[in-house]
Structure 1
Amino acid sequence: MPSFTLTINNDKKVISAEPETPLLWVLRDILDLTGTKFGCGKGLCGSCTILYKGNSVRSCTLTIAAALEGNITTIEGLSEEGLQPIQEAWMELDVPQCGYCQSGQIMAASALLSKNTRPSDDEINRAMAGIICRCGTYVRIKKAIQLAANKLEE
């Protein structure tokens, strides 16, 4: 089985797996980074969203062969020094109900705020589109992103 070197949460990891293995399974099954969730396996629900090269991507459709260059950030690696403003806002507003989609939601929101600290409602809607919340906490998600944007401005 071939070996690949991936940079995950700023740490180099040597992985033995087939090149077409989805990154999601490497994270969950090989590296035990289970904060990234499996939802649909087709890139439609967003539960598996991570950051790759700073962009929000679905890890169930990104193969390890396609992820060799650039840092992969999971929910576990989002913050090295305590909580990020987006995580603080999530807790402050009690965003999750079941919580299943929340790591994907937080990762997508983090990608948005890293590029745009003052997003409009429309920009938030576009950035978060396709990440399905079974509990329907979309209003609280948007409010948490706005609160985090305000925290970044302070």
Structure 2
Amino acid sequence: MEEKSQTPKVQNVFTNLMSSKTPPKEFFNLNKTSVPQNWDTAKKRISNNLEKFKTFYSSISLIFLFIFIVFNPSVVLLLGICGLCAYGNMYTPTIQGFECTKVVTNSATLGLFLLYIVVFPRTMTLILALVSLVSLGIVTHSVTLEEDEIQEDV
């Protein structure tokens, strides 16, 4: 019964993430970029633009991830470990009569992740570099893109 109630939540998250009413023209409009004058303006721009352009930011991140997977196929194992953790925390799987609680799932995930770090240390360094570069690009875009005056009134 619990599984049926969890599945729509996951589907709603992905549907919400990938639905966009913002045209790509606004995302790529470099004429509306400027450096914010103060910290409050920067925070406001970041929060508004992250929400407004979440589909574009997610798509860019996925493109970089797929390119990264092409050059480092061992990342598929890491994605599997992350999937194991997510599945184990959403549901309570039973393996040959043994019920895997969240503690068991998280412990197994941690052990597999540490083993992954030992076996593929260079890949972990590259993943951290990729995450840093993508995050830096997203934050830079979201802080420099000005908002429309009309949307502030709504």
Give the TM interval when normalised to the shorter protein: under 0.3
- Structure of higher CA gyration radius: 2
Structure showing the higher helix proportion among its residues: 2
- Structure with greater proportional strand content: 1
TM-score, scaled relative to structure 2: 0.24
Q: Work out which structure has the larger RCO, using CA pairs closer than 8 Å and 6 or more positions apart in sequence.
A: 2
TM-score (norm. length: structure 1): 0.24
